[in-house]
């Protein structure tokens, strides 16, 4: 197999001393993702997908994927009319979206509501009360609070859940920034409906579908490009969904009416929780996990997702400080600042071009290192940020390549939502390097489905109503 083509990597005129270069290589070398490692990651991922697809429940339990039937079969066809609402809960920002369709063209209005830290770690009822009040506020701003007709609502709920019906799930675990002590084992739709009743009484909404953000992003991506068959989130967390032929789903128990496909939620952020990625986990990933909100789980997304990338970069920098390679061994506040170097900081560092170091210096200012940093320090910080970022992009693209090959079409568009993909200046190109090599028989396009996870929730509400009319089984 040919080599993975290398992106034009950082080109600064700063040349590190031989000794520093060797020490830097000694830290980055062991965490380099070689072709061999990539192939092993892909094989492990493929196996998890197959195990999760088994008809035998005991085999499925061995997988750390869910490959969950979402019951969503209908994609948009350009004839849509009317108003639909979407909710998007998964990160710190909660969104309410109104989509007004006219002859298939969607006009979208979005409003963001910020969840406080107390809410994220308090009782689940508090989260759902917040959602109910936000919907009420949103409807008021849109003049819809007294709508006579109930507005169909799609709910993006981005946590691993068992899907029992189009509008019924069971939450398996909270992830990312959510640490509510309860809610697990409960249905998010029932919790939402109870909160609406408790807090707002007669909101004119009808929750017709609940889904993962990957699913709503796929719906939104497919609205932009009919070749979009895969939805991917590269945000705080990571996950993917794809359109699967019913005839290829061994464990399928639904009807086989048209449309003979369904969206499947892979739920892949947890790949590796069963140890299948132990062969390539670095000390940095293990340390990050130890201090994370949910230790021992969501192994895969902890290698690159937005909640973690900054901390991974920081841990590598701390090692270099300890080795005396950076800041003459005195890294000041950076050494103790767990989670304080964010993925936004990494994106900013990565936005410095050529010899410019303005953005890198601005990030270092947070840690009072901007005035002491030498040109060599700045070059090393930039190189580490790039190395860890490209490493992450390669890892996630490798497993997406498995999915693309599984979908087995000449051309596939992946609709992507999430700030990591949207804002990081090198993620897209680094991912494309992998598709070029590992999915040579498919033309892969990556498109940004911006805010797709909110907008797509409203789109899925359209699917739900259509399916009801056609009598497609939805549970």
The footprint of ligand BGC (CB under 6 A) covers 90, 158-160, 175-176, 212-214, 233, 235, 237-239, 267, 269, 298, 301
Of 147, 154, 155, 153, the closest CA to residue 204 belongs to 147
Nearer to ligand BGC, 235 or 454 (CB): 235
259 preceded by cis ω (within 30°)? yes
Nearer to ligand BGC, 101 or 174 (CB): 174
Closest approach of ligand BGC to the CB of residue 307, in Å? 8
Q: What does the alpha-carbon distance between residue 187 and residue 195 come to, in Å, rounded to a whole number?
A: 12
Helix (H) or strand (E) holding 349: helix 343-350
Question: Parallel, antiparallel, or unpaired: how do β-strands 151-157 and 82-89 relate?
Answer: parallel
Active-site option among 176, 426, 437, 450 = 176
**What six digits make up the tokens of 370?**
């901007």
For ligand BGC, which residue has the nearest CB?
A: 237
**What six digits make up the tokens of 266?**
């892979």
Active-site option among 213, 345, 377, 417 = 213
In sequence order, the β-bridge partners of residue 210 are 155
Residues 6+ apart with CB under 8 A from 258: none
- Asked if 176 is an active-site residue, the reply is yes
- Asked if 213 is an active-site residue, the reply is yes
Q: What does the alpha-carbon distance between residue 453 and residue 455 come to, in Å, rounded to a whole number?
A: 6
Closest approach of ligand BGC to the CB of residue 91, in Å? 7
Nearer to ligand BGC, 73 or 176 (CB): 176
Nearer to ligand BGC, 80 or 451 (CB): 451
Residues 6+ apart with CB under 8 A from 164: 170, 187, 475
Q: What does the alpha-carbon distance between residue 313 and residue 409 come to, in Å, rounded to a whole number?
A: 36
Closest approach of ligand BGC to the CB of residue 66, in Å? 9
Q: Which residue has the tokens 């952020």?
A: 269
Closest approach of ligand BGC to the CB of residue 403, in Å? 14
Closest approach of ligand BGC to the CB of residue 14, in Å? 37
Residues 6+ apart with CB under 8 A from 451: 95, 97, 108, 110, 220, 417
Nearer to ligand BGC, 64 or 350 (CB): 64
Q: What does the alpha-carbon distance between residue 17 and residue 312 come to, in Å, rounded to a whole number?
A: 25
Closest approach of ligand BGC to the CB of residue 453, in Å? 8
Nearer to ligand BGC, 210 or 363 (CB): 210
Q: What does the alpha-carbon distance between residue 130 and residue 145 come to, in Å, rounded to a whole number?
A: 17
Residue 247's CB: how many other CB atoms inside 10 A? Answer: 10
Catalytic residues: 176, 213
């Amino acid at each position: 197999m040919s080599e993975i083509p290398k992106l034009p990597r950082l080109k600064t005129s700063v040349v590190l001393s031989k000794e520093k270069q060797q020490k830097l290589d000694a830290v980055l070398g062991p965490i380099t993702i070689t072709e061999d490692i990539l192939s092993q990651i892909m094989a492990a991922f493929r196996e998890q997908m197959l195990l999760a697809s088994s008809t035998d429940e005991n085999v499925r339990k061995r997988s750390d994927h869910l490959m969950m039937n979402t019951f969503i079969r209908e994609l948009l066809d350009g004839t849509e009319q009317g108003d639909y609402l979407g909710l998007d809960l998964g990160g710190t920002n909660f969104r309410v979206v109104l989509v007004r369709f006219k002859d298939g063209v969607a006009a979208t209005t979005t409003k963001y509501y910020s969840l406080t830290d107390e809410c994220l770690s308090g009782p689940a009822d508090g989260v759902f009360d917040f959602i109910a009040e936000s919907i009420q506020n949103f409807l008021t701003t849109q003049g819809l609070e007294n709508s006579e007709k109930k507005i169909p609502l799609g709910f993006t709920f981005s946590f691993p859940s068992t899907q029992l019906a189009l509008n019924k799930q069971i939450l398996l675990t909270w992830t990312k920034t959510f640490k509510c002590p309860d809610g697990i084992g409960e249905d998010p739709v029932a919790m939402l409906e109870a909160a609406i009743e408790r807090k707002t009484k007669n909101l004119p909404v009808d929750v017709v579908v609940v889904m993962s953000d990957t699913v709503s992003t796929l719906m939104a991506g497919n609205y932009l490009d009919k070749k979009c068959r895969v939805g991917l989130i590269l945000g705080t967390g990571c996950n993917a969904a794809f359109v699967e032929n019913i005839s290829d789903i061994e464990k399928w128990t639904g009807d086989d009416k048209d449309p003979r496909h369904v969206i499947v939620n892979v739920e892949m952020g947890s790949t590796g929780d069963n140890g299948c990625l132990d062969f390539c986990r670095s000390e940095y990933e293990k340390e990050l996990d130890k201090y994370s909100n949910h230790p021992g789980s969501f192994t895969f997304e902890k290698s690159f997702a937005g909640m973690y990338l900054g901390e991974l970069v920081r841990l590598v920098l701390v090692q270099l400080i300890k080795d005396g390679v950076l800041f003459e061994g005195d890294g000041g506040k950076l050494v103790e600042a767990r989670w304080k170097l964010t993925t936004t900081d990494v994106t900013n560092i990565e936005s410095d071009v050529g010899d410019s170091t303005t953005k890198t210096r601005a990030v270092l200012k947070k840690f009072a290192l901007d005035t002491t940093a030498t040109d060599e320090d700045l070059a090393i910080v930039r190189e580490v940020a790039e190395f860890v970022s490209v490493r992450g992009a390669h890892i996630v693209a490798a497993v997406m390549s498995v999915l693309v090959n599984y979908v087995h079409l000449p051309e596939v568009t992946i609709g992507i939502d999430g700030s990591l993909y949207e804002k990081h200046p090198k993620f897209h190109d680094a991912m494309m390097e992998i598709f070029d090599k590992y999915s040579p028989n498919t033309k892969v396009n990556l498109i940004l489905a911006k805010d797709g996870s909110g907008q797509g929730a409203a789109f899925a509400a359209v699917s739900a109503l259509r399916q009801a009319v056609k009598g497609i089984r939805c549970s």
